[in-house]
Amino acid sequence: MSPRFSIPLLALGLLTACGGGPEETTNQPTTDDLVIGGEEASVASLYQMPTPNELFGLVKQMAGEGHKRMLNPASNVDRYVTLKGRAVNFGVYATDLVYASSFKLNVEVARYYLTTKKLADALGINSAFTDADFVRLESNLTRGDSLEVISNDAYQRAYEKMQSEKMGPVLTMVLAGGWLESMHLVIRQIEAFGKNEQLMVRVGEQKVTLEHLISMMESFKDDPNVSGIYTELLVLRDIYDQLNVTRSAHQGASASGRMVLGDDVSVEMTDAKYAELMQAVDRLRTEWTKPEDQNERTAP
């Protein structure tokens, strides 16, 4: 095993649909864009955060089957009682739902749909997870592709609801929880099945996604619920910033066929820095997913 990886990745800036060149910036954002900052948001605040199934696509191909033990236990759902705890763990559970559907963990798909729906109700975005969708999900438990579609539809509707209601602080906390859980699950897959360069690319790619997430949170960093999360994500960014990075102008469309405005980035990930990042992700994930009544019992 080589002690370091040179990881090429795409700096996800403003993504626009391919077909005759980039769209004009005066166009309305599509439903794929996550808009943070309300009506005053500028073009620079439009980013496309990848949905978890995009992140898990290569993992599923390279690392075999999924494992439910990697997920945040569904039994914890009633033990998140603050806005921060519910928002972060809504992102965690929504990511676990997509992971379960990606790997066809059918019993867990049903369980995590109901778990995510319960937190959506608590956050006031219950319209994203409907009883009709659950019936549809139950009838499709043997059809993995349909499960992914249903899970992602609900995931997308939740984001759209938070955008339309201008729930910026809540949305950034949800995104933070989802991003961290995605990192946790990919790292766990690597630890279970061994390192390979393609899986390490997925970890390296998240440097750019994390930078976008932190930029999104900038407007809300003084919010009492957001401030601690923002500070903790800066610690993870500091680890990424210690990696050697080279940038070059991107040419042409992305692999998905979308035109990209931004740079190609190559990140050099050493074994030592990977271990440091893994430990930081594990520590933060343990803290964020800890039931809040445990915090009360351990408080002085």
Dihedral over Cα of 148, 153, 158, 160: its sign: positive
Q: The tokens 């401030």 sit on which residue? A: 227
**For position 212, what pLDDT does the model report?**
87
Kindly report whether the global pTM for this prediction surpasses the value 0.85: no
| 133 vs 263: CA distance, rounded Å | 39
Low-confidence ranges of the chain (pLDDT < 70): 1-64, 128, 133-134, 140-152, 155, 164-165, 247-266, 294-300
Domain ranges within the chain, ordered by starting residue: 4-17+49-291
Asked if residue 90 lies in contact with residue 123, where contact means CB atoms within 8 angstroms, the answer is yes
